[in-house]
A and B are shown apart, each in its own frame.
Chain A
């Protein structure tokens, strides 16, 4: 599959994390399974370090396949535990993100089979088809920076709708109640705001390129 969240993002995350005292962080993570004790501590430390370095990318990948924010933390935690338990399978020097994405894909599909998740997660064959699609890298530094600028430039009402959806994790019916709108009006506002953001980002990137 294409590395949708790869490259630059991973590098930036790595830079951001470099100064953090990993020994403090990892002392807080309980070992997920006793079986992990059979893997060398160095190997476990390696995959856990790489996981933290790539966590934004992994989390972003999960959000695309599971847009209900309330379930994201559980799935990301399960991915962390599986990555730790399967530490022996990872070969140092190979593409960690690709390995983590394959685990993430299976974890999302597994979650999709659980009651309550089935409605919000696409079927396995659809996820497989999506992940097999070759993609150019869309999550570049410039694109992310442009997105934040564009978000700051949204009209007040659109900003409020986007904040309620993405910062407060409200779904359209809840947003409608808070804003005194109909659910349909919220759906339209969200769709318009996203379209405006996408066009704004494309425009900014085109300007920068020229």
Chain B
């Protein structure tokens, strides 16, 4: 083997400058000579290490722009100062670049929908407010009373924890309903608290439930979109957001005719959700909107009923076991 020739060919390989004939020549040498293969690894690894070192610098610059993840940036800086190894900062840098690429490259609609679905299971607390865009916001309930959807507030945690606060049309009382992961519960005004171990027990009058799109179980409802709806991914008019538009594939599919979702492409969190063409068999609104109004931590006990009424309130428990 001519070592100068191998040096030349390997350098051309590393710089993407091999002609077809030279590539053929290099490959023949590598196939026939174990020492040439060892030299390949030595040269290729130097090449790869140099790239990783330079990506460290690149990553640090990117990290400065990475306002959303100050902790990651802090780690990169600290690691650099104390020098625990090139790979430490290189790894963080590459991670930032890699995440940046993943987050900025275009997603397809099904991947974006899956991202949004996954985000609905996140542990973070989210608070949404309901507004009625079209149709009648009032829904009658038992005892001659009526609930209004307008202004209802929905608190969500994880996949299934929720608290919904709805105003009665008498302008004084509220219906508060929730599920803490084990028990579902509901009460009106200062009335007795009904408690059940059936998670669905008090869902019938919740926003969206009588329109076949329960806001308290967005994970499952959005999952359903992937099957019965044509979903398209669009850029939102609001800067930085993406928008998923879903339309029913056929009239046989239950649920609203159209669903519009505005979400944060970084986290998948839904910022706004609109339902159009809601089923009208039982009256109610034709179009409604859910808007994210808060992401503050609501506290550990927020989803249990005790957090929403004074001590000593009458509790009516209905357990299946």
Q: Contact residues of A with B, CB < 8 Å? A: 4-5, 9, 12-13, 15-17, 19-21, 23-25, 27-32, 34, 52, 55-56, 59-61, 63-65, 67-69, 73, 76-77, 119-120, 122-123, 125-126, 129-130, 133, 135, 138-139, 141, 143-145, 147-148, 151, 162-163, 165-167, 171-172, 187, 190-191, 194-195, 197-198, 201
Q: What B residues does A29 contact at CB under 8 A?
A: 102
Q: Is residue B65 contacting chain A, with contact meaning CB distance below 8 A? A: no
- Contact with A171, one of B15, B85, B97 (Cβ below 8 angstroms): B15
A20-B71, A167-B54 known; A30-B111 Cβ under 8 A: yes
Check B13 against A67 for contact (C-beta < 8 Å).
yes
B residues 69-92 in Cβ contact with A at 8 Å: 69, 71-72, 75, 79, 84-92
Check B30 against A13 for contact (C-beta < 8 Å).
no
- Contact with B88, one of A12, A129, A195 (Cβ below 8 angstroms): A12
Check A28 against B266 for contact (C-beta < 8 Å).
yes
Check B27 against A60 for contact (C-beta < 8 Å).
no
The 8 A CB mask of B12-27 against A (1 = contact, 0 = none) is 1111111010010011
Q: What A residues does B43 contact at CB under 8 A?
A: 194, 198
Q: What A residues does B87 contact at CB under 8 A?
A: 9, 12-13, 16, 56, 141, 144
Q: How far is the CA of A77 from the CA of B102 in the complex (A)?
A: 8
Q: How far is the CA of A56 from the CA of B49 in the complex (A)?
A: 10
Q: Is residue B267 contacting chain A, with contact meaning CB distance below 8 A? A: yes
Nearest CB in chain A to that of B117: its residue? A31
Q: How far is the CA of A200 from the CA of B34 in the complex (A)?
A: 25
Check B49 against A129 for contact (C-beta < 8 Å).
no
Q: Is residue B112 contacting chain A, with contact meaning CB distance below 8 A? A: yes
8 closest pairs, A vs B, by CB?
Answer: A16-B88, A64-B44, A167-B54, A63-B48, A30-B115, A166-B54, A144-B86, A12-B87
Nearest CB in chain B to that of A52: its residue? B95
Q: What B residues does A167 contact at CB under 8 A?
A: 54-55, 57-58
- Contact with A197, one of B30, B50, B58 (Cβ below 8 angstroms): B50
Task: Name 7 interchain pairs, CB-CB below 8 A, sorted by A.
Answer: A20-B92, A21-B71, A73-B97, A120-B16, A133-B38, A147-B86, A201-B46
Check A27 against B268 for contact (C-beta < 8 Å).
yes
The 8 A CB mask of B263-286 against A (1 = contact, 0 = none) is 000111000000000000000000
Nearest CB in chain B to that of A166: its residue? B54
Nearest CB in chain A to that of B266: its residue? A28
Q: What A residues does B47 contact at CB under 8 A?
A: 63-64, 67, 194
Q: Is residue B42 contacting chain A, with contact meaning CB distance below 8 A? A: yes
Main secondary structure of the interface of B (DSSP, over half): helix
- Contact with B53, one of A67, A120, A147 (Cβ below 8 angstroms): A147
Q: How far is the CA of A71 from the CA of B20 in the complex (A)?
A: 19
Check B30 against A130 for contact (C-beta < 8 Å).
yes
Check B98 against A73 for contact (C-beta < 8 Å).
yes
Q: How far is the CA of A144 from the CA of B48 in the complex (A)?
A: 11
Q: Contact residues of B with A, CB < 8 Å? A: 7-8, 11-18, 20, 23, 26-27, 30-31, 34, 37-38, 40-55, 57-58, 69, 71-72, 75, 79, 84-92, 94-95, 97-99, 101-103, 107, 110-112, 114-115, 118-119, 122-123, 226, 266-268
A67-B13, A67-B44, A198-B42 known; A30-B27 Cβ under 8 A: no
Known: A34-B114, A129-B37. 17 other contacts (CB 8 A): A12-B91, A20-B92, A28-B266, A31-B111, A31-B118, A55-B91, A69-B51, A73-B97, A125-B31, A133-B38, A144-B85, A144-B87, A166-B50, A171-B17, A187-B15, A194-B46, A201-B46
Q: How far is the CA of A141 from the CA of B226 in the complex (A)?
A: 48
Q: What A residues does B123 contact at CB under 8 A?
A: 23
Check B99 against A25 for contact (C-beta < 8 Å).
yes
Q: How far is the CA of A190 from the CA of B18 in the complex (A)?
A: 15
Give the Cβ gap from A174 to chain B, nearest Cβ, in Å.
Answer: 11
Q: What A residues does B8 contact at CB under 8 A?
A: 191
Check B40 against A20 for contact (C-beta < 8 Å).
no
Nearest CB in chain B to that of A163: its residue? B54
Q: What B residues does A197 contact at CB under 8 A?
A: 46, 50
Nearest CB in chain B to that of A57: its residue? B87
Q: How far is the CA of A24 from the CA of B37 in the complex (A)?
A: 41
Check A28 against B103 for contact (C-beta < 8 Å).
yes
Nearest CB in chain B to that of A128: its residue? B31
Check A27 against B119 for contact (C-beta < 8 Å).
yes
Q: What A residues does B99 contact at CB under 8 A?
A: 25, 28
Give the Cβ gap from B44 to chain A, nearest Cβ, in Å.
Answer: 4
Check B50 against A56 for contact (C-beta < 8 Å).
no
Q: What A residues does B7 contact at CB under 8 A?
A: 191, 195
Check B15 against A30 for contact (C-beta < 8 Å).
no
